[in-house]
Every structure is written in structure tokens, then in C-alpha cells.
């Protein structure tokens, strides 16, 4: 039920922020040599001379009809642009999320199993190190090391220039941006998993299972980890949002043709329809992710459904 007001609030905030920011789309399009008359004429043509509330109501009425408008700079349908770029973004974010989840949970469970060991200390130090690295800084370091120094991975793009668009040509371009996006989320997931599993290992039901002859790994995975999934899933939901947000920077660094790169370019060119359409699409993903996470709570722990 909160989906509609949340999306409405996001659209209002972004719309107002765009109009408060310095710069004028008409001046950007016409250039510095344009006369005031030409600028005023283009502003009228684009509807930018109308009051903000009128512009917003006109835009939101189009959105309700499935029309996100037309790009000011590209003169193409925003819906088709966002759809194409969103697909490229998902090609990057989904593998990054899966990598962060698998590596983070595996490291967290192993660290809980051998807590107090040198391995657990290495995992903790590595997790704190990765969390401390800004995603754009890590992306630049990866480019310097693997592209400029070693020359084993392409520095940017989704496919080779003029090459075939296939899975084989995609994978080398996917490695570095995927690693940059997954590093910090994997570290956070590892820390949360370790803490949650250690808490569960100290519960009486685990000690009872061990006393009845249940193996260590079975009690760890089938009992402790399963009952620790609620905080872990909560963290996964937050990290999905982090990955989508960090994707804007990563796509810019690696020239990945996704919605993040398009959004940055649209902000600089004051292309209001693209900014609003891209932001709305990302906001829908954020809200749907949180909706799925809320739905999983009742499945993972039936007591939550009973209490509600």
C-alpha cells in the first residue's frame, strides 16, 4: 500500500531538485552563443516556461498513461531508452549480487565455524578493508592493475568495439565492474552472517542436536544457518539497494551502457525526462526489493506472520 505514495514522493523530490539545480536545458541545447529570444522560444516549446506544479502535473499524468515523455537531447522515447539501458544494468547487477551473496555467506559461515582461528581473523580484516573502499576508488584500482599494468582485462565497455555481442565477449568486460560492485556488499554480508550464525550456535537447540549425535556441519548449516536467515535476508535486501545505487558510479567508470551511465549524462545535460524516468524506474526496483524481503520474513520465520 505504501508503493504509490513512496514513488510519488520520490518523483516530487527529484523533480524539485532538478529545477532548483543551476542550468537550463534550453541553454545547454542551444549553446553559449544563443540569443535570449532563441532560448525563450525553445523554453516555450519544451514547456519549461510554465510553473513547476503545472509541469509536474503534466508529466505525472503522462506517466499514469505509460508515457515517460521524450528525451530533450536524444529526441527518443524515454520509456524505450530506460528499458534498453535497464536491461544492461541488470546484466551487471544480478551477477554482482549473486557473487556478493555466495562469497559473503560462505565466508561468514566458515568464519563462524572456525571462530578464533587465523582464518576468521583474515576474513574479519578483509571484510573491514573492503567495506572501507569506496566503489569508485576500487573500480579505478582494478582498471589500473588489470587493464593498464597487466593488460589481461578490457578497461571498459560491455562488448569489444565492433566485435560480436556474445556471452564469450561479454564475460571479460563483466569481471571488473562485477568485482567492484560486489566487494563491499560481500564483506557486509560476511560480517552479518558470521554474527548471526555464532548467536545461533550458542542456542540450546543446537547444543541439544549436537548431544543427540548430529554432525557439526549439519547442525551448522541445517539448524544454525537456517534460523539465522532473517537478519541475513534483511542485509541482502539492503545490499541489493547498495549495488543498484553504486551501479551509477561503476557504469560511469567502466563505460558500461546501463541506466546509471545514462542518468549521469542526463543530469549534466539537464535532460529532465530521462532523469525523472530513470529515477522512477530505479525507485520501483528499490520498493519491489523491499516488498519481496518483507514477504520472505513470514516464510523464513512463521512466528512473524503469527505476531502480525
Query: For 281-295, how does the pLDDT look when each residue is reduced to its tens digit (9 = 90+)?
Result: 888 888 888 888 888
Q: For residue 35, what pLDDT band results from cuts at 50, 70 and 90?
A: confident
- Confidence (pLDDT) at 305: 58
Domain 78-307 = CATH 3.30.70.2740: no
Answer whether residue 84 shows pLDDT above 60: yes
- What residues does each domain of the chain span? 3-64, 78-307
DSSP-assigned beta bridge partners for residue 77:
70
Secondary structure of residue 77 in the 3-state scheme: strand
Average model confidence (pLDDT) for the chain?
84
Per-residue pLDDT tens over the stretch 200-234? 877 787 778 777 777 777 777 777 777 888 888 88
Q: Name the band, by pLDDT with cuts 50, 70 and 90, for residue 303.
A: low
Mean predicted confidence (pLDDT) in 148-158: 88
- The CA distance from 135 to 102, in Å, is 19
Q: Residue 308: pLDDT above 60?
A: no
Cβ 56 vs Cβ 273: under 8 Å: no
* Angle between the N-to-C axes of helices 3-20 and 52-64, in degrees from 0 to 180, rounded to the nearest 10: 140
pLDDT, one tens digit per residue, over 60-75 is 888 888 888 888 888 8
CB 78 within 8 A of CB 273: yes
Q: Which of 109-113, 153-157, 206-210, 304-308 has the lowest mean pLDDT?
A: 304-308
Instruction: Write the Ramachandran bin of 34: left for phi over 0, alpha for psi from -120 to 50, otherwise beta.
Output: beta
Region 143-163: what's the mean pLDDT?
86
pTM of the model: 0.81
pLDDT value of residue 304: 64
Give one word for 10, left, alpha or beta, with left for phi > 0 and alpha for psi -120 to 50.
Answer: alpha
pLDDT at 5: 86
Amino acid at each position: 500500500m505504501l508503493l504509490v505514495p513512496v514513488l510519488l514522493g520520490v518523483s516530487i523530490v527529484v523533480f524539485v531538485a532538478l529545477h532548483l539545480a543551476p542550468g537550463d536545458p534550453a541553454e545547454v541545447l542551444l549553446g553559449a552563443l544563443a540569443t535570449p529570444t532563441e532560448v525563450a522560444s525553445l523554453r516555450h516549446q519544451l514547456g519549461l516556461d510554465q510553473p513547476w506544479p503545472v509541469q509536474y502535473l503534466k508529466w505525472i499524468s503522462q506517466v499514469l498513461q505509460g508515457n515517460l515523455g521524450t528525451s530533450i537531447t536524444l529526441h527518443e522515447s524515454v520509456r524505450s531508452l530506460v528499458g534498453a539501458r535497464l536491461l544492461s544494468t541488470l546484466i551487471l547487477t544480478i551477477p554482482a549480487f549473486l557473487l556478493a551473496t555466495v562469497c559473503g555467506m560462505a565466508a561468514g559461515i566458515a568464519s563462524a565455524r572456525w571462530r578464533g582461528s587465523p582464518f576468521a581473523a583474515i576474513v574479519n580484516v578483509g571484510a573491514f578493508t573492503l567495506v572501507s573502499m569506496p566503489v569508485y576508488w576500487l573500480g579505478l584500482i582494478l582498471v589500473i592493475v588489470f587493464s593498464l599494468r597487466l593488460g589481461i582485462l578490457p578497461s571498459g565497455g560491455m562488448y569489444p568495439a565492433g566485435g560480436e555481442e556474445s556471452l564469450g565477449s561479454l564475460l571479460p568486460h563483466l569481471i571488473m565492474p562485477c568485482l567492484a560492485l560486489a566487494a563491499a556488499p560481500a564483506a557486509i554480508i560476511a560480517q552479518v552472517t558470521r554474527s548471526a550464525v555464532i548467536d545461533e550456535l550458542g542456542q540450546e537447540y543446537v547444543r541439544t542436536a549436537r548431544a543427540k549425535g548430529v554432525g557439526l556441519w549439519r547442525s551448522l548449516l541445517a539448524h544454525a544457518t537456517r534460523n539465522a536467515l532473517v537478519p541475513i535476508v534483511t542485509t541482502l535486501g539492503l545490499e541489493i539497494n547498495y549495488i543498484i545505487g553504486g551501479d551509477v558510479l561503476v557504469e560511469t567508470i567502466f563505460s558500461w551502457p546501463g541506466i546509471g551511465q545514462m542518468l549521469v549524462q542526463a543530469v549534466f545535460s539537464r535532460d529532465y525526462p530521462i532523469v525523472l524516468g530513470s529515477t522512477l524506474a530505479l525507485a520501483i526496483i528499490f520498493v519491489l526489493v523491499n516488498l519481496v524481503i518483507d514477504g520472505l520474513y513470514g516464510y523464513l520465520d512463521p512466528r512473524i506472520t503469527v505476531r502480525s
